Structure 1
Amino acid sequence: MTGRARSPLAGALLVLVATVALTLTFSLLRVPSAVLFGSLLGGMTHALTSPTEIKVPPLAFRLGQALIGVTIGTLVSVEALQRMGGEIAPVLLVTLGTVVLSLGAGWLLSLRRDVSLVTGAFALIAGGASGIVALARDLDADERVVTVVQYLRVLIVLVTLPLVIGVVFQPETGLGTLSTEHGPLALDLLYVVAAAGGGLLLARVVRFSTATLLAPLLIAAVLASSGWLGDVAVPDPVQWVGYALIGVQVGLRFTRTSLASIARMLPVVTLLILAMLGLSALMGAALAWLTPADGLTAYLATTPGGLFAVLAIAADSGSDVTYVMAVQLFRLLVILLTMPVLARWLRRRDTESGDAA
């Protein structure tokens, strides 16, 4: 590592200034997850230009995971999940098919010597990018590769969505909008404190990998779905803090060697993502064939990423937003809840392959 040594305070100030400037720029350009990208590059700004190490307290990382868990848990709606009703069998089949598809793409990526099977799988798993990035280190995956590939997938999904929908489905637009109503700010903050604080305490008791994200997620889902606190949401600035805490710590772990390695794999990754998009569209066609859902609704329900953009398009085109949300959420929960078991299995396969070699 070359570069000018700077004090930890100067490095922290550089990271802060770069994070804010980049986040504002990305927000103006409408880049998805602008805060996470901005903080990621903010951390890299220091890591790639100075040998001075900046240590972020472990509590900050756990807090970031908890806030992302609460943000995801807020989306869980019992009404949306019940909407699937008697269609759970085909939805489960399509969900498992998407997971298998993701693992297959991850296995192909892991054929590279610089990518482990665990890293390849979680870099290309479809859905829940923020949660997967937050958990990558706990699962022994290379969080730098996982972050770059996950958000490249999201970006490609968002870029191709309007094109595919316009060419293939040609729906009417302006038929509806997403509701964003929620309760008073004080109630929202109470909800975040209860879910994140309670989840972190529970994670100290149960002590399993991913608990610092899953425990707050489950508590948030119960509180939000039960209606005990009314209509609640995670305030945007609180979400930004969660994304920034994760993004900065990932960025600070980059080196010039790791950055060059990731850059070399991007052409292969892009091809794998495009293949996943095509095969996911086939999953949508299967869902439309197996259920009463129309083609556009089924396609949006099985899109591998870009949840909020997908829901906005569903509302605008008059598709069944509740059904789209239900299928997307079901896949997200299946992925997040099975990640610890999946990670152990993948690590064992990695070890067996290494022993055989």
Structure 2
Amino acid sequence: MSIFSQKLWRWGLLAILSVVITAALLWLHVSAALLLGPMLAGIILGVSGASLSVPRPCFSLAQSVLGCFIASSLSLQVLQDLASFWYLALALTLSTLVISVLCGKFLARFSALPGNTAIWGILPGGASAMVVVCSDYGADMRLVAFIQYLRVVIVVLSMAAISHFYMVDRVSSVAVEIVWFPPLTSDFFITLAIAIVGCILSRYIKIPSGRLLIPMVICVVVQLQGWVQIEVSEWLLALSFAMVGLSAGLRFNISVLKLALKALPITLVSIFAIMIFCYFQALFMSSVMDVDFLTAFLATSPGGLESSVIIAVETNSSLSIVVPLQILRLFSVLLFGPFIARYMSRNILSNNQASV
């Protein structure tokens, strides 16, 4: 069998395995299934010794599509809702970033993980965005993905448990059905064009995370101006998530997997520390604002925007509280995460050198 035939067979096996695992995760209603499925398939083949990698243009375009998708959640209504409690939202966001940095420093100090990898892995926000952005700053994408999605799974399970045991009477009977192939509109084609143009511009405009941030900024501007309603179809989002997941998963090998498992206990301690802190944030928020605990918990939860919104819809919680606070934290992490990670990794490195 020729080298070309071997690679073709491996890509075919990878595609089938990705579809099967993703379908199973979707059936189980696992959060971030569109990304976790391909990533798990990539890990299986990567650890098995398959020499495959996602073509860079595909990964770059996936980043740009993800930037458009993030921007689609920002509207004038969200900004108006956020303005009604901006001081509290800002305080909660800043305090979450501070505790995340401390937990990241703890993780780097008591594990074998590099400093910048630990910081990027533990930062709460959009897990897929963190995985995409971290590689631009020298962090190990594989380990960041491992930490981020371990956090997502644990937090989503805790949110589901709390919503079930404490607010079972509020659960909505309306199921959210995914429309994979909606009608193609002019807004979709404009959004796709912005993603492509933004991806090309990022090659010439050298800014950190440009492949994600440039199309995201363009989409935010045109949407807030009312020119276009940013639209990313589910099939395109699934392909983009698959590229990100495969890119992370295929980089795994036995040594990386051993390091991830070795760091698992300390990683779990860091994740639970952030969760407990956010739990007390929710208690504080529900006491100072006229909102119920579940709404406050979903708004401050470190599980990410998508999972929080899904559970908020299913439990009839207040989206006008949950969405603005989650979006503020997501954008704050995207904007300030690089500076935080760079500073903290240098600080950790200098402390390690001083202790030697």
User: TM-score, length-normalised on structure 1?
Assistant: 0.89
* Count of residues in Structure 1 that have an aligned counterpart in Structure 2: 352
> 1:307-318 counterparts in 2 under 5 A?
307-318=305-316
Deviation per CA, 1:73-111: give whole Å up to 9, x if none.
Answer: 111122112212242122111101111111111111112
* Shift in Å, 1:177: 8.1
Matched, 1:203 2:202: yes
- Pick the aligned partner of 2:341 from 330, 340, 343: 343
How far apart, in 2, do the equivalents of 1:198 and 1:283 lie? Answer: 40
> 1:289-304 counterparts in 2 under 5 A?
289-304=287-302
- Pick the aligned partner of 1:155 from 139, 143, 153: 153
Q: Is the 8 A contact 2:115 2:345 kept in 1?
A: yes
How far apart, in 1, do the equivalents of 2:160 and 2:150 lie? Answer: 17
* Shift in Å, 1:188: 4.2
* Shift in Å, 1:148: 1.3
How far apart, in 1, do the equivalents of 2:321 and 2:201 lie? Answer: 32
Q: Which residue of 2 aligns with 1:281?
A: 279
Identity over aligned pairs, percent: 28
* Shift in Å, 1:171: 5.4
Q: Which residue of 1 aligns with 2:14?
A: 15
Q: Which residue of 2 aligns with 1:130?
A: 128
Q: Which residue of 1 aligns with 2:112?
A: 114
Q: Is the 8 A contact 1:137 1:143 kept in 2?
A: yes
How far apart, in 2, do the equivalents of 1:113 and 1:277 lie? Answer: 20
Q: Is the 8 A contact 1:127 1:305 kept in 2?
A: yes
Matched, 1:226 2:225: yes
Amino acid aligned to 2:344: L
Amino acid aligned to 1:15: L
Q: Is the 8 A contact 1:149 1:269 kept in 2?
A: yes
Deviation per CA, 1:105-156: give whole Å up to 9, x if none.
Answer: 1111112452112111111111211100111211211111111111111111
SS in structure 1 opposite 2:170?
coil
* Shift in Å, 1:184: 4.4
SS in structure 2 opposite 1:56?
coil
> 1:143-182 counterparts in 2 under 5 A?
143-168=141-166, 172-174=170-172
Matched, 1:83 2:85: no
CA 313–14 in structure 1, closer or farther in 2 if over 3 Å, else same: closer
How far apart, in 2, do the equivalents of 1:241 and 1:314 lie? Answer: 26
How far apart, in 2, do the equivalents of 1:203 and 1:78 lie? Answer: 27
How far apart, in 2, do the equivalents of 1:326 and 1:176 lie? Answer: 23
Amino acid aligned to 2:192: V
Deviation per CA, 1:297-354: give whole Å up to 9, x if none.
Answer: 2222101114233223333444321221011101111111112222321232243234
How far apart, in 2, do the equivalents of 1:236 and 1:94 lie? Answer: 32
How far apart, in 2, do the equivalents of 1:175 and 1:49 lie? Answer: 43
How far apart, in 2, do the equivalents of 1:180 and 1:43 lie? Answer: 25
CA 110–311 in structure 1, closer or farther in 2 if over 3 Å, else same: same
How far apart, in 1, do the equivalents of 2:7 and 2:171 lie? Answer: 52
Deviation per CA, 1:218-256: give whole Å up to 9, x if none.
Answer: 2222233333234x4211110011111111111121111
User: TM-score, length-normalised on structure 2?
Assistant: 0.89
How far apart, in 1, do the equivalents of 2:53 and 2:295 lie? Answer: 46
Q: Is the 8 A contact 1:297 1:314 kept in 2?
A: yes
Amino acid aligned to 2:9: A
How far apart, in 2, do the equivalents of 1:309 and 1:131 lie? Answer: 14
- Pick the aligned partner of 2:65 from 64, 67, 91: 67
C-alpha RMSD of matched pairs (Å): 2.7
SS in structure 1 opposite 2:185?
helix
How far apart, in 1, do the equivalents of 2:57 and 2:349 lie? Answer: 31
- Pick the aligned partner of 1:142 from 136, 140, 143: 140
Q: Which residue of 2 aligns with 1:259?
A: 257
Deviation per CA, 1:164-209: give whole Å up to 9, x if none.
Answer: 2344556533398889999842324313323212322332232122
Q: Is the 8 A contact 1:297 1:319 kept in 2?
A: yes
How far apart, in 1, do the equivalents of 2:73 and 2:222 lie? Answer: 11
Amino acid aligned to 1:114: A
Unaligned runs of 5+ in 1: none
How far apart, in 1, do the equivalents of 2:61 and 2:242 lie? Answer: 11
Q: Is the 8 A contact 1:177 1:315 kept in 2?
A: no
SS in structure 1 opposite 2:220?
helix
Q: Is the 8 A contact 1:116 1:350 kept in 2?
A: no
CA 179–55 in structure 1, closer or farther in 2 if over 3 Å, else same: closer
CA 37–162 in structure 1, closer or farther in 2 if over 3 Å, else same: closer
